[in-house]
Amino acid sequence: MSDVIIMEVENLDPIFKPKTMAVIGVSTTNPLFPGTIIYNKNLHEYPVKVFAVNAKGGSLEGNPIYKTITEVPAKVDLAVLVIKAKYVPEELKKCGEAGVKSCIVVSGGFAEVGHSCLEEELIKISKEYSLPFMGPNCIGIHTDFVDTFILPSERLATPPSGNVAVVSQSGGVLIDQILSKFYERQIGVAAAASIGNKAIINEITLLKYFNKHPQVSTIVFYNEGFKANSGQEFVQLAGSLNKDIILLKGGKSKFGAKAAQSHTAAIATNFSLISSSFRQAGIIEAVTEVELVTFTKAISFGLKGTENGNIVILSISGGHAVLAADLCAYYKLNLVQLTDDQKNLLRANVNPSIVDIASFENPIDLTGSVSDEDIEKCLELLLSFDSVEGVVVLLVPYVPTITMQIGRRLSNIVRNNKIKKPVVAYLPWLEIYGIIIRGLELAKSIPVAHTVEEAIQMIHALHLKGLKNKHR
């Protein structure tokens, strides 16, 4: 029976791209009631046609409130249930009877507080009607077409549309640690889902769905624990797919595992074992929330992985070069040793005033007397060296000899580079340098990090990606 529903839920378009939607549980008196928030934001901000449902009837925003889902005068792709837990089974059943194609159960009060029987009831109904649902105990989803997050739009930061799909076991982490940070760093999102107790739709269902999703190239997971056996299945499936998968696991430490158990009843596991199976399957594992963001930025740019992590640091500040070199050691990246010929070639191509003060050992320090052209020439040459798989440019743009066009100039070099070696950049996050950031990131040529640590994390992510290709 389980197989039947798994087969059915593989196409989840009615959830992620609904044309019609019903919100079951709205309030006519409290504008901050979750169901009302969901109804209003979809009515005014999204293309989906939305219907309000409440047994009391009445009207909301000038539209009728239907007393039951069966009264809604349209075929409903997605019903969102925002009612007390004890009423959910009955309403879910009605959805099944009314031919609703999919549901999101926002309501909490199920397995997460020990009411497993109530959750079992939902699973039974779902299977009976072949009605896939997300949740319970989740904050739902966000795409270009629909947003079921129970939070007011003006409180949220929404990232731009893009090629990343996000699946999170925690609604708070999804909204805040992922979507707000993606907004800050302008990482584009195709779909974001909070899966809550994942009674029916889980990581595996969504991995299959997003694997076939034409807009999605990178799939990001926040996970606190898999249900019995599904961890292994997830890893096997991930290993067989060609899309990039990034995962942050919460609850790895003793403290964290205990916290995860109260949060999502996640079972403590031997983490180093899991970690190595992730790596074998080509899953790019982020160790911290910050890594999750920087990894996603670099990977979502579609850059080539570096199989051996052989990189060059190109800096214009000696101190930055030192800090970056320390971080490369930490991340087990290899600072390629340049040959004398290569160093002489670099020297011959920069302006004479820096030849004696610059250091052409890797990390390269062109010093603050550098010009745009020096950086350009060096980057172009470095990308042409066989031994170099990728370059990290540390751009410290305060010196007036670096112009605001440096971003475009470096982006042009990367876009004209036939071998498509990855380049990532560090640039301080100051408003005045926005034009350089936009230049660098033009057509997804060079992802920009705003700490040296994040820049090295980015090139580390591309090494983790490269390892996957190497092991195949």
| All residues at 6 or more sequence positions from 260 whose CB lies less than 8 Å from its CB, including other chains | 224, 225, 250, 251, 266, 268
CB burial class (10 A; 0-12, 13-18, 19+) of residue 17? middle
Cα 308 to Cα 464: distance, rounded to the nearest angstrom = 9
Rounded least distance, CB 44 to a second copy, Å? 17
Kindly state the smallest distance separating residue 341's Cβ from a second copy, in Å: 19
CA distance 49 to 37: 15
The dihedral through the CA atoms of 450, 452, 453, 457 has a sign that is: positive
Residue placing its CB nearer to a second copy in the complex, 239 or 368 = 368
Cβ proximity to a second copy, 250 vs 422, nearer residue: 250
**In the complex, least distance from residue 85 CB atom to a second copy, rounded to whole angstroms:** 11
What's CA 184's distance to the chain center, in Å? 13
Show Cβ contacts of residue 175 under 8 Å, excluding neighbours closer than 6 positions. 139, 149, 151, 156
Nearer to a second copy, 171 or 407 (CB): 171
- For a second copy, the closer CB: 64 or 318: 318
Measured CA to CA, the distance from residue 365 to residue 375 in angstroms comes to 10
* Distance, CA of 178 to CA of 149 (rounded, Å): 14
Nearer to a second copy, 239 or 428 (CB): 428
Peptide bond into 136 cis (omega under 30): yes
Task: Give the three-state DSSP class for 94.
Answer: helix
CB of 13 to a second copy, least distance (A): 27
Beta bridge partners of 102: 78
Q: Which of 379, 382, 384, 357 is nearest to 368 (CA)?
A: 357
Which of 333/423 has CB closer to a second copy? 333
Q: Smallest distance, Å, CB 69 to a second copy?
A: 26
Nearest approach in angstroms of CB 368 to a second copy is: 7
State the pairing for strand pair 59-60/63-66.
antiparallel
Toward a second copy, which CB reaches closer, 9 or 23? Answer: 23
Reported as half-sphere exposure (CB side, CA atoms, 13 A), residue 357 has a value of 12
Residue with smaller CB distance to a second copy, 9 or 316: 316
Q: What is the DSSP string of 267-283?
A: PP--HHHHHHHHHHTT-
- Whole-number Å distance between alpha carbons of 439 and 139: 36
Instruction: Judge whether 171 and 196 are in contact, CB under 8 Å.
Output: yes
Minimum gap (Å) between residue 3 Cβ and a second copy: 31
Question: Considering the complex, what minimum distance in angstroms separates the CB of residue 274 from a second copy?
Answer: 14
> Where are the strands (E) in 297-389, listed by range?
310-315, 334-335, 364-365
With residues binned 3-state (H G I as helix, E B as strand, rest as coil), the percentages for the chain, rounded to 5, are 45, 15, 40
Rank residues 95 and 452 by Cβ distance to a second copy and give the closer one.
452
- In the bound complex, what is the minimum distance in angstroms from residue 379's beta carbon to a second copy? 19
**Tokens 């996603």, residue located:** 296
Q: By C-beta, is 2 or 262 nearer to a second copy?
A: 262
CA gap 44, 31 in Å, rounded: 14
Residue nearer to a second copy on the CB measure, 74 or 287: 287
Minimum CB separation of residue 263 from a second copy in Å reads 3
**How near is the Cβ of 321 to a second copy at its closest, in Å?**
5
